[in-house]
């Protein structure tokens, strides 16, 4: 019988958040994608007939990223070394986007104007704030956590010798 590897609570939390975040993103994507599928203009043309390239990108790219997030979460539960690297890449990309949003649009990100603005502008602003509030701390935590020696050791094959210092 092979010795089982022990998964830490932090890896379990990261895996669960990866899967739950991917499922939430899938629901969010469906919320925005369904109106695109049902859209018809005055001449009874559908959105995919009007903008086929954009529709194809929106139909394929987000679900592939979501599937990769779910696969990463499952890989973290199974302590696969590629899943740890994937999580580091996801965290670096999320941190880059959060910091870019803060740097390029600081006032639009954190301050809701007192004057009346359109509902679409408010929705975009609230989504931006939610994106930063949710992803910034998680991405920083992942970048530090998955680089710890104890965490790296969990993802090593069971029969490998410990690294020499």
Segment 29-65, tens digit of pLDDT? 888 888 888 877 778 888 778 888 988 888 899 999 9
- pLDDT value of residue 1: 41
Out of 31, 63, 78, a domain closes at 78
Segment 114-130, tens digit of pLDDT? 676 777 777 777 888 88
Let me know whether 74 and 129 are in one domain. no
Angle (CA) 116 122 127, round 5°: 165
Average pLDDT over residues 151-159: 84
Say if residues 66 and 72 touch (Cβ distance below 8 Å). Answer: no
Say if residues 29 and 99 touch (Cβ distance below 8 Å). Answer: no
Q: Is 46 helix (H, G, I), strand (E, B) or coil?
A: strand
Q: Is residue 95 part of a domain?
A: yes
Q: Is residue 58 part of a domain?
A: yes
Let me know whether 72 and 124 are in one domain. no
Out of 78, 112, 127, a domain closes at 78
Q: Is 1 helix (H, G, I), strand (E, B) or coil?
A: coil
Provide the number of structural domains found in the chain: 2
Domain that holds residue 58: 10-78
């Amino acid at each position: 019988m092979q010795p089982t590897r022990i998964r830490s609570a932090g890896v379990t939390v990261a895996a669960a958040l990866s899967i739950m975040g991917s499922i939430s993103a899938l629901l969010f994507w469906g919320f925005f994608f369904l109106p695109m599928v049902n859209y018809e203009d005055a001449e009874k043309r559908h959105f995919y007939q009007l903008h086929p390239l954009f529709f194809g990108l929106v139909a394929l790219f987000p679900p592939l990223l979501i599937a990769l997030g779910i696969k990463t979460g499952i890989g973290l539960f199974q302590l696969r070394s590629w899943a740890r690297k994937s999580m580091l890449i996801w965290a670096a990309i999320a941190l880059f986007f959060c910091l870019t949003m803060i740097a390029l649009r600081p006032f639009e990100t954190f301050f809701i104007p007192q004057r009346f603005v359109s509902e679409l502008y408010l929705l975009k602003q609230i989504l931006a704030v939610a994106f930063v509030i949710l992803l910034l701390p998680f991405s920083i935590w992942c970048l530090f956590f998955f680089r710890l020696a104890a965490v790296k050791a969990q993802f090593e094959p069971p029969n490998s010798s410990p690294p020499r210092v």
